[in-house]
Amino acid sequence: MILSKYPYVIQKEILDNMEYSDLFMFSFVSKKMKKVIKSSQMDRFNSISSIVYECDRTDQSWVCISKKWIEIMRIVKHEEGGNGYFQLNVCGKTIDFRQTSFHIPFIPKLQNVSFCVDFHLFGDRAKNGTTNFTEMEKLEKFFCSSPVLKSIKVSAGTSTAPFNPESKFYQTESVESEQDTLIFPAILSHFQGRQAFIRCHSCEIFNLIEFINRWKSGRALQKLEYLQIEIFEPELRPNQILNAVAAKQMNATSQPATHIVPKIYNWLYSKPNTDPIISHAYVVRETDSRVASVQIQDNTLSFGVWNKTEEEFLKMVS
């Protein structure tokens, strides 16, 4: 049977009836066939909004089409000396595949595709005797070999070790982190992305002050648009922080502008926009006079950067 002897309409009908996992394998057969797949399956591929890497306690992630939960592949451990492996070049990396599953130790860099990953970092008590997450090394490797992610949502107990300050985790465009027992969110010191939403147990006041001062200096956090950190303790005293960072106050009689931006990625059950910041307090970045509104209420510090210099900002609110 020579597939290429079929007219295009038949080739398309055959491809329409192939599962995603088989289409994926088929795309490696030849460049010409890859083109046929791309052109004939455009509608099908366009209907895929995202790919989900679903991890379970077996440590072997399922890779599925979002919403429909159609499995494409499973990421499994490479068995030394195992049979049935064949190698394929995926985006310049050689990966071992098996007939029904294969080992893919990273997220490939694909044009026009961005990845959002939801991590639940808890230990396996049955396996490790603790619910603390103990596999930071593995997670670091994952970030190291993957492209910069668009958004990360992390919920975790306590991790035994923080991320390496140089970790690509901190380059993620948007991070939503919930770590109820975490004492100090290192993300405040190392974040290089645009939006961060942090909920943690506690944070020293001086860490918050240091964060704002680092932004003001222009030495770090240059891309930051929005940061929100909610802590349980200690109680945040707005004046203490605002004074420490030499925050400026708008004229009390003027109506403060509302800072609100669309979220980089709208996770399920979350709001599409950041919480509005309506505050008279603001700080100015030394390097370019850019303004950021600062709001402290309900034990939450909200920090919203404007795309305006102080002069433009004051003109806007006057």
Partner 1 sequence: MSSTEQGTSSAAPAEPTTAPESAAAPEVPESFYYVHGKDKVVHKVSAGALQHSALIHGMISNLGYTEEQAKANPFPFENIDGDILQMVVDWCNQHKGKPTPPEDTNLPKQKEKLFDLVLAVNYLEIKELLTYCCKQVAMMVKGKSPEEIREIWMIPTDAEDEAAEKEAKKRAGKEAAGETAAAAGDAK
Interface residue list for partner 1 (CB under 8 A):
1-4, 6-7, 9-10, 13-19, 21-22, 25-26, 28-33, 86, 88, 97, 99-100
d(CA 151, CA 115): 7
CB of 291 to partner 1, least distance (A): 56
Between residues 6 and 69, which has the closer beta carbon with respect to partner 1?
6
CB of 108 to partner 1, least distance (A): 17
CB of 19 to partner 1, least distance (A): 7
Q: What is the per-residue DSSP string for 153-202?
A: EEEES-BSSPPPTT-GGGG-SEEEEEETT-SS-THHHH--SSEEEEEEEE
Q: Strand, coil or helix: what is 294?
A: strand
Between residues 95 and 283, which has the closer beta carbon with respect to partner 1?
95
CB of 24 to partner 1, least distance (A): 10
Q: Do 180 and 248 contact (CB within 8 A), yes or no?
A: no
- Bond preceding residue 262 cis, omega within 30 of 0: no
| Burial of 42: CB neighbours in 10 Å, binned 0-12, 13-18, 19+ | exposed
What residues contact residue 5 under an 8 Å CB cut-off, 6+ apart? none
Between residues 18 and 317, which has the closer beta carbon with respect to partner 1?
18
Between residues 7 and 81, which has the closer beta carbon with respect to partner 1?
7
CB of 83 to partner 1, least distance (A): 13
Q: How far is the CA of 183 from the CAs of 26, 180, 231, 234, in angstroms? A: 49, 9, 9, 11
Cα–chain center distance at 265: 8
Between residues 34 and 308, which has the closer beta carbon with respect to partner 1?
34
CB of 84 to partner 1, least distance (A): 9
What residues contact residue 124 under an 8 Å CB cut-off, 6+ apart? 57
CB of 47 to partner 1, least distance (A): 19
What residues contact residue 241 under an 8 Å CB cut-off, 6+ apart? 205, 208, 209, 212, 247, 294, 296, 301
Phi and psi at 269, nearest 5°, equal 65, 15
Between residues 19 and 180, which has the closer beta carbon with respect to partner 1?
19
Between residues 103 and 201, which has the closer beta carbon with respect to partner 1?
103
Contacts made by residues 124-127, CB under 8 angstroms, sequence distance 24+: 124/57, 127/57
Between residues 7 and 272, which has the closer beta carbon with respect to partner 1?
7
CB of 67 to partner 1, least distance (A): 23
